[in-house]
Amino acid sequence: MSHKQARRIAKFIEPLRVEPGSRVDLAEDFDPRYKARLKKREGAELLRTGVGLLAEYQAKLAAQDTYGVLLCLQAIDAGGKDGTIRHVMSGVNPQGVHVSSFKVPSAEELDHDYLWRYAWRLPARGDIAIFNRSHYEEVLVVRVHPENLDRQRLPAEAQGRDVWARRYREINDWERYLCDNGFRVVKIFLNLSEEEQRTRFLKRLDRPEKNWKFSAADLRERERWDDYQHAFGEMLSATSTPWAPWYVVPADRKWFARICAAAVLVHTLMEIDPQYPVVGKKARKELRAAKRLLEQQAPEGAERDPYAAGRRG
Ligand code: ATP
Ligand code: MG
């Protein structure tokens, strides 16, 4: 990637980044309809570029096998998490990407500490893991519906009013530990407006092939809109850190949200700057010996190296 392209991407995502230590007021600070004066037509080309860059970087990340990347996607219902994953990751090698979707915890998951089920699905070195919902549900839905916390059966001394502040600290510490050990945590919040959510729900009701996506629970959650906005604001303020900042992606326009998500991910990979391993002197000697051996095995009349011959034309 050229320096110019790298600078352009860094500048593009700058307004989306939650400054560590700042206090976020979602409604004041981030507009779900922002689109950086782009037109949808220009957007398609940009997304193609982003997807291509991701594929390139992911191949290097896997080859280098030193760093891993965890992408956390959070959003209110109908925020567009699934579509973002589908489009942004459309060009990468599926072998290097793992998507985990987190739902209501199972009995086994509830029998462990709250980060257990997320730790289980962390990326290996060389991999990109995507969390469709993430450990942040533990300070979102669990906060908005405190009965979820009761189900976690915390000991008495771990309950109480400071439980959320403690969870923010624990999550920050956990992410710092991951970062220090070669795993970058990228966090994207898809910021949808209340009116656009209403439209998307209606689309799910109006179109038979989308009916399966609608659940009555979505409407019940919508009634808690303000509580969720508050919980998102608190989460963004408390857990945007220098080692794992949050990006608030405007989500009312799906095409723009996808470009932003791709840009944030490319930017992280750009910073890691993975490289194909360089073959050392000894290994090069072994490669030359292997080549000689294979050339000697050429049948009568065949090219010694059909690949090289093919390339020569
Ligand atoms: P879709 O876009 O397909 O609706 P989704 O991510 O909303 O995808 P659902 O199966 O509809 O998936 O919902 C999962 C539900 O699980 C959400 O309501 C979410 O709040 C809930 N959930 C996730 N993590 C937890 C948790 N730790 N405790 C309680 N509920 C959780
Ligand atoms: Mg849902």
Reported as a single tens digit per residue, the pLDDT across 177-212 is 999 999 999 999 999 999 999 999 999 999 999 999
Ligand 2 centroid to Cα of residue 301, in Å, is: 64
The pocket around ligand 1, CB under 6 angstroms, is made up of: 77, 82, 101-105, 133, 137-138, 141-142, 148, 215
Given its phi and psi angles, is residue 221 left (phi above 0), alpha (psi -120 to 50 degrees) or beta?
Answer: alpha
Identify the residue whose C-alpha is closest to ligand 1 atom 13.
Answer: 103
Band (pLDDT 50/70/90 cuts) for residue 158 is confident
User: Do 207 and 289 lie in a common domain?
Assistant: no
Is 290 in the same domain as 197? no
Query: Which atom of ligand 1 lies nearest, measured to the CA of 82?
Result: 2
How many domains are contained in the chain?
Answer: 2
Q: Are residues 90 and 227 in the same domain?
A: yes
Nearest CA to ligand 1 atom 20: 141
Tell me the pLDDT tens digit for each residue of 50-97: 999 999 999 999 999 999 999 999 999 999 999 999 999 999 999 999
State whether 49 and 154 are in the same domain.
yes
What CATH number has the domain bearing residue 81?
A: 3.40.50.300
Helix (H, G, I), strand (E, B) or coil at 72: strand
Ligand 2 centre from 192 Cα, in Å? 14
Do residues 16 and 52 touch, judged by C-beta distance below 8 A? Answer: no
Same domain membership, residue 292 and residue 173: no
Host domain of residue 226? 3-272
CB-neighbour burial class of residue 167 (10 A; exposed 0-12, middle 13-18, buried 19+):
buried
208 shares a domain with 155: yes
Q: What is the pLDDT of residues 232-271, one digit of tens each?
A: 999 999 999 999 999 999 999 999 999 999 999 999 999 9
